[in-house]
């Protein structure tokens, strides 16, 4: 399975992606996690990415695409993967299309978690407190949601037009959301 998990920041993509990847034995590729690991390790990529992340902006497409291209070329991705937080721009969709075309592969499904925006802000503020994430301060959270609405939300209609989009409510208990995702993917299979 080659899957994409979409939804606004704080929708629970990472949590659900972890569970699904464990169930399906496929790698969980979170661009946010890869950027954060690079920030922690103080790599050149991390130093560049941190400026954008702290401001609630997207890391430039050139940097992000190169990083994903490298990751998808690794052997564990040859039979499947779940992308969490990528693609986020139209340009990234085009790049992903060409990476997959080169492997003669395609995306099987795009799962979009639908959430209430006030709940999302509450979740992110809580995460900022729990994890000390500088990019989750409330002003930055609002900005991240604006950037998402402008640049990423339109991608769902693009994937819908390809017949790949599955929308699932991301509200409520983690287990309930997981069950909804499984049901939605199975009904599409
Ligand atoms: P996330 O953990 O997915 O919310 O990502 C945290 C931050 O990493 C985002 O706010 C962006 O600054 C950056 N980031 C993650 N994925 C991407 C992407 N696909 N394109 C650009 N920036 C990204």
What are the start-end ranges of the E strands in the chain?
2-6, 28-30, 81-84, 109-114, 165-169
What does the domain layout of the chain look like in residue ranges? 2-188
Query: Which class is domain 2-188?
Result: alpha beta
Q: Which ligand 1 atom is the nearest neighbour of the CA of 56?
A: 10
Burial 128-154 (b: 16+ CB within 10 A, else e): beeeebebbeeebbeebbebbeeebee
Establish whether residue 52 lines the binding site of ligand 1, counting it when its CB lies within 6 angstroms of any ligand atom. Answer: yes
Please answer whether residues 52 and 60 qualify as being in contact, where contact means their C-beta atoms are separated by less than 8 angstroms. Answer: yes
Tokens coding 132: 């000390």
Report pLDDT for 189.
Answer: 61
pLDDT digits (tens), the chain, 189 positions: 999 999 999 899 999 999 999 999 999 999 999 999 999 999 999 999 999 999 999 999 999 999 999 999 999 999 899 999 999 999 999 999 999 998 889 999 999 999 998 888 887 888 888 877 767 778 888 899 999 999 999 999 999 999 999 999 999 999 999 999 999 999 866
Report pLDDT for 140.
Answer: 86
As a whole number of angstroms, the longest Cα–Cα distance in the chain is 44
> Catalytic one among 36, 71, 123, 144?
144
pTM flag (> 0.75): yes
């Amino acid at each position: 399975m080659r899957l994409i998990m979409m939804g606004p920041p704080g929708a629970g993509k990472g949590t659900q992606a972890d569970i699904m990847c464990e169930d399906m034995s496929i790698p969980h590729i979170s661009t946010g996690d890869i950027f954060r690991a690079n920030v922690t390790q103080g790599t050149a990529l991390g130093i560049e990415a941190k400026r954008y992340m702290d401001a609630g902006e997207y890391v430039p497409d050139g940097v992000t695409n190169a990083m994903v291209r490298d990751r998808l070329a690794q052997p564990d991705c040859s039979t499947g993967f779940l992308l969490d937080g990528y693609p986020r721009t139209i340009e990234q969709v085009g790049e992903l299309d060409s990476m997959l075309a080169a492997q003669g592969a395609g995306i099987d499904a795009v799962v979009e978690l639908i959430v209430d925006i006030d709940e999302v802000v509450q979740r992110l503020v809580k995460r900022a407190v729990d994890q000390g994430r500088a990019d989750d301060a409330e002003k930055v959270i609002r900005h991240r949601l604006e950037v998402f609405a402008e640049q990423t939300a339109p991608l769902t209609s693009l994937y819908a037009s390809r017949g790949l989009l599955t929308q699932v409510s991301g509200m409520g208990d983690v287990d309930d959301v997981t069950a909804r995702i499984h049901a939605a993917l199975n009904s599409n299979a």
